[in-house]
Chains A and B, each alone.
Chain A
Amino acid sequence: MIRSASLRFATLFGLVFALSALALVAFLWFSTANLLDRQVEAAINADAQGLVERWSEGGVPALLLTIQERLGENVDDDAIYEVTDSLQRWVAGNLNQWPVKVETPGVFYELQVVRAGTRSLADVRRYDLPGGFHLLVGRDVRGRVELRRLLTNALFSSLLVIAALGAAGAFVIRNVFRRMVAEVSATAEAIAGGDLTPRVRRSGRGDEFDRMAESINTMLERIAKLMDGVRQVSNAIAHDLRTPITRARARLEDASLHARTEGELRAGVERAVSDLDNVTAVFHALMRIAEIEVGARRSAFAEIDLGPLLADLAELYSAVAEEHGGLSLRLEVPDTLAILGDRDLLQQAVANLLDNAIKFSPDRGHITLAAARVDRQVRLSVADQGAGIPEADRPRATERFFRGEAARSTPGSGLGLALVQAVALLHEGSLLLEDAHPGLRATLVIPAMSPVQQMNSDSSAPHPEDTATLPSDLRR
């Protein structure tokens, strides 16, 4: 029972409830007692003042007479008076003897007194009169004791009520908890059992539990999607690697069984080696993508100037483009464009995009490699005038081994865009595939270096352009 979280919450709830009730009673007690005390003190003061006035008018006899009168009129029977002479002998009043403790005049004392044979609690004050007489004025405060007992009783009986209410509340809380937890754990158990389809049921109230159920369901959707991806990838690996391996094996076996001349044998072996090289390349690309997706390459991040990097790639590829059906490659990139990233991977990503663009361009087509800073992002795009990717295929185009209808007849592994996508995600960016009317525009959107990052990493020699962009960035 102690190990039940719902019970713990319930207990806590009851405890907080009881503590607040206790605090309320304590407050009531202290404020009431304080008020009573002040009333008693005011009454004593007023009483004493009257008596002293009477004494100054008529001397001791007048004082004694007044005391007699007042005692007579005191219906509540709570007034206490005593007058003694200089030798502390009793002269008048309703106390039998002078309380020993009361020595200093003008101070309130709270003490036990014996009056008419009964003990009770009293507040008293001493006044010294000329001629050696002492006057004691006080009030019986038994009422306050009564009040305290009353409040204590009320407290105890209310504690019972509190305990009952707390227990009831705790029970309700525990039940709500149980219901929620049971729902989640039933779903979790079903999933642990291998069925990924069940989801946590929602009450529809839109409360915290609903939100939790919702986020658990979102998580499950994501896991299911990932599992699906893994299954697809392993199927694709099985297919894409099995095919060239089978081919290589067939070629080797064929060569060993049927080759009649050394030349034929050699040719067969060489073709098998090239098939196996293909396998290695696919394998290598897969490992690379996995490595990037794990995020291990973030350690290689450094400040990169995209300007010269892209110009170099354009130079490398423009010759290829020209040879390949007279394509032209246009470069629209500023001289400097700083980002924080992995040089090797960005080069490879752009090279993949350019490879694709060249592969799918019609003769005499134009390819555009552009990069620009837009707000806080760098948009790096490669556009061609080829067939593009049909709208329906675009979401899947970045999956490993996915090859569209148009791509099936061309050589390739179906891993190019998957790698670009992985590189984009590593840089906390994204890969957009859009229609370039005609053709495909693949855009890598990567966060630009913030001015602060630039100043930190680049304090030795700031580029004029960086300092120029600085104020406008700070304004945002």
Chain B
Amino acid sequence: MRILLVEDDPTVAQFVVKGLREAGHVVEHSDNGRDGLFMAASEAFDTIILDRMLPGGIDGIRLLETLRSQNNATPVLLLSALAQVDERVAGLKAGGDDYLTKPFAFSELLARVEALTRRGKSDGPQTKLLVGDLEMDLLSRGVRRAGQKIDLQPREFRLLEYLMRHAGQVVTRTMLLEGVWDYHFDPQTNVIDVHVSRLRQKIDKPFPSSLIHTIRNAGYMLRPE
């Protein structure tokens, strides 16, 4: 995947570039808004990681607005040291697809970038999700594994749907909290772990192989063994 990183802090930039390359992505880096805008507008990227505050007259929000006004729909992940909820809303309003507050764990950044890239690709309305021998019918809201019907609570269904839509990708606890529950705060207790473990009881326990995997220091991943 081709990713553009616009970030002025050299340490953070180096760390992110290195990590993304290790994960197998092609990364271009710009350390100011002017060059960043030029690169974003003239080349094709799968995702842009954009710092909110940039030197050189054009900050992240300006860059994003300019890009969107040119009908450039490349998914954009905003990075910011501003944690206020209003700032997050402003970032998303300007056309951002996701928002991550500094300091962040690299695993969180990587998971979100990969989720964004996937989102950009599959736009067509799906009626069925398939991962290994697990299938989900979005119309009848039925779930089967190896032909066996599985009963899920509405919230469990949404949790599984989210995992299936991001099958093969790491999904962090924060992403689940935001994507499934639409909560934007950090609970003290590990509420997500409990819900995932309940889902496992139904999806994985009765079967010989597991589909839901715990990724250490990151989150979860749904994939066929």
Residues of chain A within 8 A (CB-CB) of B85 are 297, 300, 344
B187-225 toward A: CB 8 Å interface, digit per residue (1/0)? Answer: 111110011011000000000000000000100000000
Q: A297-B85, A316-B181 are in contact. Are A281 and B194 (CB under 8 A)?
A: no
Q: How far in angstroms is the closest Cβ of chain B from A439?
A: 18
B185 on interface, CB distance cutoff 8 Å: yes
Select which of B83, B89, B183, B195 is within 8 A of A319 by beta carbon: B195
B184 cross-chain contacts in A, Cβ below 8 A: 344
Q: Is A287 an interface residue (CB 8 A)?
A: yes
Whether B189 pairs with A416 at a CB distance below 8 angstroms is no
Q: Does A270 contact B (CB under 8 A)?
A: yes
The answer, yes or no, to whether B56 is at the interface (CB within 8 Å) is no
Instruction: Evaluate contact between B183 and A347: CB separation under 8 angstroms.
Output: yes
Contact across chains for B188 and A320 when beta carbons are under 8 A apart:
no
B71 adjacent to chain A (CB < 8 Å): no
Contact with B along A315-326 (1 / 0, CB 8 A): 111011001100
- Contact status B86-A351, CB under 8 Å: no
Judged by a CB distance under 8 angstroms, whether A312 is at the interface is: yes
Q: In the complex, A287 Cα to B86 Cα: how many Å?
A: 13
* Nearest A residue to B198, CB-CB: A319
With A and B bound together, what is the CA distance between A359 and B189 in angstroms? Answer: 9
Q: Which residues of B contact A315 (CB under 8 A)?
A: 155
Residues on A with C-beta less than 8 A from B83 are 284, 287-288
* Shortest distance between the CB of A241 and any CB in chain B (Å): 14
Residues of B within 8 A of A296 (CB): 84, 86
Q: Which of A300, A316, A348, A358 is in CB contact (< 8 Å) with B195?
A: A316
Contact of A352 among B105, B188, B194 (CB under 8 A): B188
Compute how far the CA of A351 lies from the CA of B89 in the bound complex, rounded to whole angstroms: 21
* A277 cross-chain contacts in B, Cβ below 8 A: 105
In this assembly, does A254 line the interface, its C-beta being within 8 Å of a C-beta of chain B? no
Q: Are A317 and B185 in contact (CB under 8 A)?
A: no
B181–A355 CB distance below 8 A: no
Mostly, the A contact residues are helix
- List residues of chain A with CB within 8 A of the CB of B89: 300
Known: A352-B188, A355-B188, A355-B189. A280 touches B103 (CB 8 A): yes
Would you call B186 an interface residue if the criterion is a C-beta within 8 Å of the partner chain's C-beta atoms? yes
Count of chain B residues near A, Cβ 8 A: 24
> In this complex, what residue of B is CB-closest to A413?
B188
- B124 to chain A: closest CB distance in Å? 30
> Contact: B185 with A348, CB < 8 Å?
yes
A residues 296-339 near B (Cβ < 8 Å) are 296-297, 299-300, 312, 315-317, 319-320, 323-324
Which residues of chain B have C-beta atoms less than 8 A from A351's C-beta? 183, 185, 187
Within 8 Å CB of B191, what residues of A?
Answer: 316-317, 319-320
Does A291 sit at the interface, judged by CB under 8 A? yes
- Alpha-carbon distance between A281 and B101 when the two chains are bound, in angstroms: 12
Residues A344 and B194 in contact, CB atoms below 8 Å apart: no
Q: Is the CB of B194 within 8 A of A320?
A: yes
Q: Is residue A412 contacting chain B, with contact meaning CB distance below 8 A?
A: yes
Residues of A within 8 A of B155 (CB): 315
- Residues of chain A with a CB closer than 8 A to B181's CB: 312, 316
Inter-chain CA distance A352–B185, complex, in Å, is 10
Q: Which residues of A contact B103 (CB under 8 A)?
A: 276, 280
**A/B interface sample: 17 pairs, CB < 8 A:** A273-B105, A287-B84, A296-B84, A297-B86, A300-B86, A316-B191, A320-B189, A320-B190, A320-B194, A323-B197, A344-B85, A344-B183, A348-B185, A351-B183, A351-B185, A351-B187, A359-B189
Nearest 10 interchain pairs by C-beta: A348-B185, A355-B188, A319-B194, A320-B194, A323-B194, A320-B191, A351-B187, A344-B184, A355-B189, A316-B191
